Amino acid sequence: MDNFEFYNPVKIVFGKGTIAQLSSLVPANRKLLLTYGGGSIKQNGVYDQVKQALAGRTVFEFGGIEANPRYETLMKATQLAREKQVDMLLAVGGGSVLDGTKFIALAAGYQKGDPWDILAQHAAPEHALPLGCVMTLPATGSEANMFSVVSRESTHEKLAFAHPLAFPQFSIIDPETTYTLPERQAANGVVDAFAHVMEQYMTFPAHAPLQDRQAEALLATLIEAGPQILQQPRNYNLRATVCWCAAQALNGVIACGVPQDWTTHMIGHEITALYGLDHAQTLAVIMPAVWRHQLPGKAEKLAQYARRIWTISEGEDLASRAIDKTEAFFRSLGLKTRLSEYGIGADRFEEIAGRFERRGLRLGEHQAIGKKEVVEILNLCLQSPPK
Ligand code: NZQ
Ligand code: ZN
């Protein structure tokens, strides 16, 4: 097991009716900027619950943060936060609203240059606005972590940052808010959370049996509950289970002391930036291809996963069969697993791979995935899909 530090100060307030607790979670004298997305919170009653809990407070609003939040939009919100001199942000929505608001929190106090540098140059702001969240889409884990992913429309870039100032002070997770999720978003959320676990698990054995079993608990639970939420969208306990899985999948716990491989996410962000696929749609395509490409190095862990999660113990090709099972799981949730199914061909593969090279990035748990390997992985995403 590798050395590690673990720090996660996010207060999670979980359960039915918890949005009302905003009245005590937000100090009375705060001047708030409430941020939200394209309007789902106005249709499903979440907005009304938030406003009711904050009645009598000074609350400015910024709506219209889009899925895969755009720097250009977030800078408008940053401007508003500065103009109104707000002293706290409240993000209400899915991962995009939360991520976008984390960026606003850091950008609002960043005076040293263009806030894009926080993403592109890893510039480290010294101050940020405090942030609270009401999470309505179990997927990213943004409610429980210090990560944020922002897209820049003008250059078709999608970049991430991690900064301790981006930890929410609190996150309210009321599973009832997720009843209104369209099936596609609910399925996306399950695949995203599943992929987060995998990026911290599917490497090589690292003498970390507890972290392995914690990861496997999340995988098994998502495989069990994921398809069921599509059948029973108003089943509270199923929704609660998926919400808690998503928060746990990327709150730092299962990353402790183990190697990680974020290749799937890194390539996926480029696909979203260039073609506009949903985040999870990219993951369902790329993850099986990364594993097939990296089979020798990941074989031992894939076999462990095959035995423990899919209870396959007979035969020799446990690793390949585990990959097939995973792909079938993604497809059972309605996601496609080939780029060709989205009408995407090989024409921009060199460009995508070249972006990593230009940023000096090598991917994989051994940094063994360079430009050539990225193109090879992308080519595997063009094979004909399984029957
Ligand atoms: O914009 P509104 O109208 O709110 O609608 C949203 C949006 O259209 C809708 N939605 C959210 N909650 C709903 C709802 N509709 C009905 N009922 C509800 N309760 O769902 C749509 C998608 O929302 P979005 O926030 O974009 O989805 P998600 O939570 O999957 O977030 C994706 C973003 O998070 C980033 C992704 O790259 C992507 O930009 N990620 C963030 C991570 C992090 N911070 O740790 C890690 C992830 O790997 C990921 O990269
Ligand atoms: Zn993700």
Q: Which two tokens stand for residue 306?
A: 């095959």
Single-letter amino acid code for the residue at 110: Y
DSSP letters for 279-312: HHHHHHHHHHHHHHHTHHHHHHHHHHHHHHHS--
Q: Over 90: is that where the pLDDT of 316 sits?
A: no
- Is residue 135 over pLDDT 90? yes
State residue 387's pLDDT score: 82
Contact 200, 165 (CB under 8 A): no
Question: Above 90 in pLDDT, residue 313?
Answer: no
Asked if the model's pLDDT at residue 114 lies above 90, the reply is yes
| 200-222 mean pLDDT | 98
Distance (Å, whole) CA 270 – CA 282: 9
CA of 366 to the centre of ligand 1 (A): 30
What is the rounded average pLDDT of the residues 42-65? 97
Between CA 325 and CA 171 the distance in angstroms is 34
Show Cβ contacts of residue 183 under 8 Å, excluding neighbours closer than 6 positions.
230, 233, 334
Give dist(CA 23, CA 21) in Å, integer. 5
**pLDDT mean over 114-123:** 94
Cα–Cα dist 364/316, whole Å: 25
Question: Looking at the predicted structure, is the pLDDT value of residue 314 above 90?
Answer: no
Q: Which residues sit with their C-beta closer than 6 Å to ligand 1?
A: 37-41, 44, 67-68, 93-97, 99, 136-137, 139-142, 145, 147-149, 177-178, 180-181, 185, 188, 192, 250, 265, 279
- Mutation test of ligand 1: which of 19, 40, 46, 133 has the most ligand atoms closer than 8 Å to its C-beta? 40
Over residues 299-323, the mean pLDDT reads: 94
Between vectors from CA 253 to CA 300 and to CA 183, what angle results, nearest 5°?
A: 85
Q: What integer pLDDT is reported at residue 344 of this predicted model? A: 97
Query: For atom 16 of ligand 1, which residue has the closest CA?
Result: 181
Q: Is the pTM of this model over 0.85?
A: yes
Q: In this predicted model, what pLDDT tens digit does every residue of 10-52 receive, in sequence order? A: 999 999 999 999 999 999 999 999 999 999 999 999 999 999 9
**What does the alpha-carbon distance between residue 277 and residue 17 come to, in Å, rounded to a whole number?**
34
Residue 318 has pLDDT above 90, yes or no: yes
Best mutation site among 149, 248, 335 for ligand 1, i.e. most ligand atoms within 8 A of its Cβ? 149
DSSP letters spanning 230-259: HH-TT-HHHHHHHHHHHHHHTSSTTTTTS-
Please tell me whether residue 88 adopts helix, strand or coil conformation: strand
Round to whole Å and give the CA distance between 58 and 72.
26
CA Rg value for the chain: 20
What tens digit of pLDDT does each residue of 348-370 get? Answer: 999 999 999 999 999 999 999 99
* SS3 assignment, position 229: helix
Nearest 5°: the CA angle 59, 64, 67 is 125
pLDDT tens string 228-277: 999 999 999 999 999 999 999 999 999 999 999 999 999 999 999 999 99
Mean pLDDT of 335-339: 98
pLDDT at 315: 80
Phi and psi based region of residue 184 (left: phi greater than 0; alpha: psi -120 to 50; beta: remaining): alpha
The DSSP-derived string for 7-69 is: ---PEEEESTTGGGGHHHHS-TT-EEEEEE-SSHHHHSSHHHHHHHHTTTSEEEEE--PPSS-
The residue contributing the CA closest to ligand 1 atom 48 is 140
Ligand 2: centre distance to CA 262 (Å) = 9
Given a cut of 90, is residue 103 above it in pLDDT? yes
Q: Which residues pair with 92 in a beta bridge?
A: 36, 134
Domains by residue range for the chain, with CATH: 11-177 (3.40.50.1970), 182-380 (1.20.1090.10)
Length of the chain: 387
E strand or H helix at 318? helix 318-332
| Residue type (1 letter), 207 | H
138-183 pLDDT tens trace: 999 999 999 999 999 999 999 999 999 999 999 999 999 999 999 9
Mean pLDDT of 218-235: 98
Tell me the CA–centroid distance for residue 193 and ligand 2, in Å: 7
